[in-house]
Structures are given as C-alpha cells and as structure tokens.
A and B are shown apart, each in its own frame.
Chain A
Amino acid sequence: MAWSRIMAISRVTTFVLLCGVASVVAPAHSWAQTEPPPVEALRTPTAPAFSVLGLEPSAVERPMTPSDAAIALVDKFRNGTVPKNFAFESSPYWLVSRPHVTWRDDARRSFGQSLARTTSVSLATAETGTAQAPVSSLAFGVRTLLMSGELSQSTRKAFEDLEKRLAANGALFLSMMNERGLTTLENQLKDCTLPLPPAPRPSEADRKKCIEQYEAQKKVLTESVLQSDAFKKAAAPLLGIEIVPKREGFLLELATAFAWDFPRGAWETHQIRKRAFWATPSYESGPWSAVGVFRYEDDALVFNEDAIELGGRAIYSTEIYAVSLEYVERAPVRDNPLNRSHRLVGIAEYRVANGTWFVASFGKDRQKTSSAESTLVAQLGVSFNVSKQRYKFP
C-alpha cells in the first residue's frame, strides 16, 4: 500500500518535472491545445478516397446489401457525368450475411480471411474548381489489413460477459412469457400438431394451420412482454453497451487511393490529380505498443512537393499515464528543394480526469519549408479523448 503511494507520488513528480522543462523552453504560442502528433496524421486513413480529396463528408452512403450498393452507384453515375459531392464506403465481404463467421472464429484470422474481412472500398467526388472553371474531382481508394493479430483478452472477456447478459435477458423474457401463458399455448400446440392416439395424425395442411394459430398467439404474448415496463427496465442496460473490439499482436494495414480531375464534369477531360499509398504496421501487447507509418503522396497539382514519409511511435500506456517516443523522416523525391529531414519527439501524457489528459511534448521538428531550419518542439497542452480507445490500432 505504502509502496504504491510512493510510486504514485513519484509518477506525478516526474510528470510535473517534465511539464516544467517543457514550459521553460516552450514558445508562448504553443500553449494551446496540442495538435495531433504527426505519426497519427500519417496513418492509413479509414477511407482513403476521402483522404486524397481532403474531405470529411457529413453524409456517407454505406450500403448493407449488394442491391443497396448497386442502386447507390447506378443512381449516381447513370447520367454519364461525375456526380456532385458523393461519398460512398463499403466492405464487400460484409454486404451479405456470414452465418458461419462467429466472433470466436474471427478472434484469429488467416491471411486470406484477414484480406477478405477487412477490405473496404471508398469513392468520393467533390467540386474543386471555381465558378468560372468548374472542376469535378473523383477519388477511389482501397484499404485492407493483411495481418490482423488476434482479439485481445479484454475484448474476449467483454464478449463473454455480454453473452451471459444476453442469455440472462433471454431467460427473463421466457419466464415473463410463461407468466403470461406460454406453457398453455405450448400444450395447445402439442395437442393440435401431435394429438395422442387414438386421435388421427393431422395432415400437413392442418399442422401448418396449428402453427399459424400458435405463432399469432405467441406474437401477442411477445409484444406484451417486450412492451412491459418491467422488461424494458431490465433490458435497457443492454442497449447502452458499447464494446470497441480491440486486436493485439502484429497488424499490417495497407491502403491506396487515386484521384482524377474532370474539368466541366465531363468523363473525356479526365486527368490524374493525386495518388497515395499508405502502410501502417503495428504491434500491441499489454501496455506496450508500437506503430510504424509509411506514406507516399504524388500530387500532380503541387509542384515539387512529392515526398516519402516514414517513421514510427513506441508507446507505453496505462490507464493513468503514457509515455511515447516518435520519429518521422521526410525524404523528398525527384527535384524537391526540401532537404531530407526528420522529427524526433518525446511525449508524456497524464490523465487528470476521465477523457482529459495533460500532454507535454519535447523534441525536434522537421524542416517545413526550403528556407527554414529544423525547429524545436516544446509544447504543453490538454487533450480530450472521449473514445474508449486511447490509441487507435486498426
């Protein structure tokens, strides 16, 4: 007990010291809410097509069946022009029901299973020109996990607990059905479909009628239970349950996207606008995690800005604090006037309240313009994280 108190005080002292160092060297303007770390910005995007067009669409078509997907696409593209402000995202494997994929089977995936179950495609359009020179842009992207690691022990336990709660809810439902006369209905059903000798065995048509009658009465009972205050009260907590499935071990996420411009919205005028490729390997085990990033962007509209960016971040995190070190290198390609440069930053985070973290960063930032030197990173700030997942892993 005393030792844990000493450790807690020591953690706080270390954090305050780190903050103190950062505050001494921090420029005044950096006392703002901490910006997302660059490693996060380089990660594989959820929807690559939206990312290459710089979109965060408020309405995204996410069809749940093949026919929904076909209707969404045919409806938008049937006029022969690029549709305006259209955003579409779909995981083809999950468009149809997968009755034999249980969560226990999915806890570990083979290479092929990972590829099939995690591949998603995204499609987006945007108006990127001006009123005088209208340009429609269209982007297409694919994202997949080649290696999926395995479901974390905490998620397995959360799923098993949920199974028990759902089973208990089903048992309550049945007991309330019994109170309302389900067993009487069952006896009527038996007598109707399987009468005791010497009564003759009913025909198939008669048995079908018995079942229809039983189902109609069962439906009335079911509604009365589901609508009862007692059952609603008991079942309400199930609706609020939110489990974010978490996977551990080695994960490798890849994505690519291409964007084209269509001056005046005509198909014939198309020209390449941008292409990008991302790779994000990561490993997580207990409090330790590491993520690597690789991004290549070829932007046809911005002269001499093409570069490969790669790096990584190692994190040790607990419920109360986290320390991490991140490194990102930017390697210009072709005739880019920027020098090869890197960013190396240490980050310490301490939870002050649920969802609120003090963040201190210290290190060296990369060269951002051809005339500038590398800059110092020294920031103190507050970050807000309401998600259950402090660090996002695919």
Chain B
Amino acid sequence: MDDALLSATKFYDVKANTPIVLVVEVGDNQVGGTALQLNGSPVPFNPIGPTPIGAPGQDLRRSVLQVVTTVKDVNPKSNHTSVTHHFRGGVTDESFPFEVSVKADKGIARYFITYILA
C-alpha cells in the first residue's frame, strides 16, 4: 500500500544506566505519525516534543529500538517527505536524517528504522 518505503539500521551509543530521549521531526510540511518499540514492547510516543526511551536508571545497552514513522503527503507543492530522528542523552547527541519522495500527491511514505543502542 505504501508509495515509498525506507528501511535502515543504525547504531546509537548510549551511557550505562541512563535513558535517552528521541524527537522525531517530520519535514517538508507533511504530516506523520510515529510508533516506537523497545526490545519488542511498545513505547508511548509524544508527537510534539521529546519522548523518553527507557525508565530512569535503565541500562539501554544491547537494546533494539524500532521507529516506524508513517508520513502522508498533504503538501500540494511537494512530493518530498523527510524524517529526522534526534537523539539526546547518549554518549553524544546525534541526528539521523532520512528522505524519500512519494510518486503522487496524497501518497504515503513509511520509514522503518532500527536503532541498535550500543
């Protein structure tokens, strides 16, 4: 059903016993919704600010975070879609930009990104 699918796997270095936060930025004036899963369990997502990943004191090393951002093209002037994942609280703050275009107006792009928290 998706017009465009982007799949990738990335590493993000975390500190021992320290949770991290994630901010998802959906660009190109498009609308997107995000679902998160940490080691197979859903994580509630905050669409307008940072989302904490892990409980206070939790050691996130050797965890796998799945981030699925589904973007609908609502911008009549562009078929570009872009998603940037901003991580804070790890060894360094890092941003992971992704972009893909849908084939036609009102199309759907799915970003399925796996993060290995190292």
Contacts and interface: CB of A to CB of B under 8 A. Distances in A.
Given A166-B72, A167-B35, A173-B110, 7 more contacts: A64-B78, A94-B28, A166-B70, A174-B66, A193-B118, A218-B112, A243-B74
Interface string A163-187: 1111111110110011000110010
Contacts of A215: 7-9
A186 B39 contact: yes
A211 B8 CA distance: 9
A99 B68 contact: no
A101 interface: yes
Contacts of A218: 7, 9, 112, 114
Select the residue from A94, A159, A167 with max chain B CB neighbours within 10 A.
A167
B114 A94 contact: no
Contact of A102 (B27, B70, B76, B112): B27
Given A170-B35, A236-B1, A189 B114 contact: yes
B101 interface: yes
13 contacts: A64-B78, A91-B77, A98-B29, A166-B31, A168-B35, A170-B69, A171-B42, A171-B68, A174-B42, A186-B64, A190-B62, A232-B1, A235-B1
Helix, strand, loop or mixed for chain A's interface? helix
Contacts of B79: 64
Nearest to B39: A186
B99 A97 contact: yes
Contacts of B26: 102-103
B34 A98 contact: no
Interface of A: 64, 91, 93-94, 96-104, 106, 117, 120, 159-160, 162-171, 173-174, 177-178, 182-183, 186, 189-190, 193-194, 196, 211, 214-215, 218-219, 222, 226, 231-232, 235-236, 238-239, 241-243, 245
Helix, strand, loop or mixed for chain B's interface? strand
Say which size band chain B's interface belongs to.
Answer: 35 or more
A170 B70 contact: yes
Contacts of B116: 189-190, 193-194
Contact of A159 (B31, B45, B71, B97): B31
B27 to A, nearest CB: 4
A104 B48 contact: yes
Contacts of A170: 33-35, 68-70, 110
Nearest to B74: A243
A167 B29 CA distance: 17
Interface in B73-118: 74-80, 82-84, 97, 99, 101, 106, 108, 110, 112, 114, 116, 118
